[in-house]
Amino acid sequence: MIMETTRSVTVEAEPYPFEFSLATCALLIIDMQRDFLEPGGFGEMLGNDVSQLRSTSEPNRRLLAAWRSKQLPVMHTREGHRPDLMDLPPAKKMRGRGKTTIGDKGPMGRILVRGEAGHDIIPELYPLPSEPVIDKPGKGAFFATDLHAMLQNRGIQQLIVTGVTTEVCVNTTVREANDRGYDCLVPSDCVGSYFPEFQAVGLKMIKAQGGIFGWVSSSEKLLAVL
Ligand code: C5J
C-alpha cells in the first residue's frame, strides 16, 4: 500500500497537468501580511485598494487547512526589515518619494519592520509554531534567506506558491524557484493583486511558452486531488 505522504497526484492545470508527490511538495504562502491586506497598512499608503486582496484569504485558509490535515510541509514568508533598517537598501527606502516610507511610523506600527503589528501575518492564516516563517528583505523569497537550504534539506522539489501580490512577490519568487530547479504551481484564486490587469497578466506570464516559469490552476482543483 502506498503511504499517504508518498502518494503522487496530478492536478488539472495550465499549460498541462501538474504532477507532484505529497512527499516532496511544500505549500509556500507569500507575504499574507496585515501591511498588504488590511486598511491602514503599507499597501494602502502606496495608494492601493487593499480590498482587491481580501478574496485570497478564504481559499488560502482552505488550502492551508488541507495541507495541515495531511501534515505536509507549510512555509510562510513576510517581507520586511530589521528594526535598525540595516538591511533596507536606500533605493527601496526612497522609491515612490512618499512622505511616509518603510521604517516610519504608520497606523500598524513601523511600516514593514519585523516585530511590528502590520508586518505580521493576518490572523486567518497565522503560522503554527511548527511552520517556518521566512523573513525576507526583498521581493523574492530566495534572496538573502535560508529558504533554498531549508527546502533542499527537506527534499522538496515542487512548490505550491500562494499569497500576494501576484505580479510582485509571487512572480519574483516563482521565477527564483524556477531557476533553482523547483516546479511551481500557482492556484489563481490564492494569489492577488491590487490591479486586476496585473493579476491576469501575472498568471499568464507564469504559464506561457509551455509553462516557462510554472503552472497555474485553482484551489478547487488542487483540493480535489489531495
Ligand atoms: C509588494 C509583495 N507588492 N509582497 N510586496 O511590495 O508583493
Per-residue pLDDT tens digits for 157-179: 999 999 999 999 999 999 999 99
CB-CB contact of 196 with 52 (8 Å): yes
| Residues having CB within 6 Å of any atom of ligand 1 | 31, 36, 79, 139, 164-165, 168-169
Place of cell 502590520: 118
The predicted-structure confidence for 186-198, as pLDDT tens digits, reads as follows 999 999 999 999 9
Mutation to probe ligand 1, out of 38, 162, 165, 195 (largest number of atoms < 8 A from CB): 165
* Closest Cα to atom 5 of ligand 1: 169
Count of Cβ atoms closer than 10 Å to residue 177 Cβ? 24
Cis peptide bond N-terminal to 165, omega within 30? yes
Cis peptide bond N-terminal to 132, omega within 30? no
Is residue 3 scored above 80 in pLDDT? no
Q: How far apart (Å, rounded) are the C-alpha atoms in residues 197 and 217? A: 18
C-alpha cell at 3: 503511504
Q: What is the DSSP letter of 123?
A: G
Whether residue 31 lies in the annotated active site: yes
The predicted-structure confidence for 67-101, as pLDDT tens digits, reads as follows 999 999 999 999 999 999 999 999 999 998 888 89
C-alpha cell at 94: 526612497
Q: Distance from the CA of 211 to the center of ligand 1, in angstroms?
A: 23
SS3 118: helix
Whether residue 183 lies in the annotated active site: no
CB-CB contact of 77 with 26 (8 Å): no
Q: Distance from the CA of 1 to the center of ligand 1, in angstroms?
A: 43
Whether residue 184 lies in the annotated active site: no
Provide the residue type at 213 as one letter: F
From 25, 169, 184, 190, active-site residue: 169
Count of Cβ atoms closer than 10 Å to residue 96 Cβ? 12
C-alpha cell at 197: 490587469
Ligand 1 atom with the smallest distance to the CA of 33 is 4
**Alpha carbon distances (Å) from 44 to 51, 105, 198:** 10, 14, 17
Q: What is the DSSP letter of 50?
A: G
Is residue 124 scored above 90 in pLDDT? yes
Crossing angle of the two packed helices 171-179 and 196-211, in degrees rounded to 10? 20
Q: Distance from the CA of 3 to the center of ligand 1, in angstroms?
A: 38
Compute and round to an integer the Cα radius of gyration of the chain: 17
Is residue 1 scored above 60 in pLDDT? no
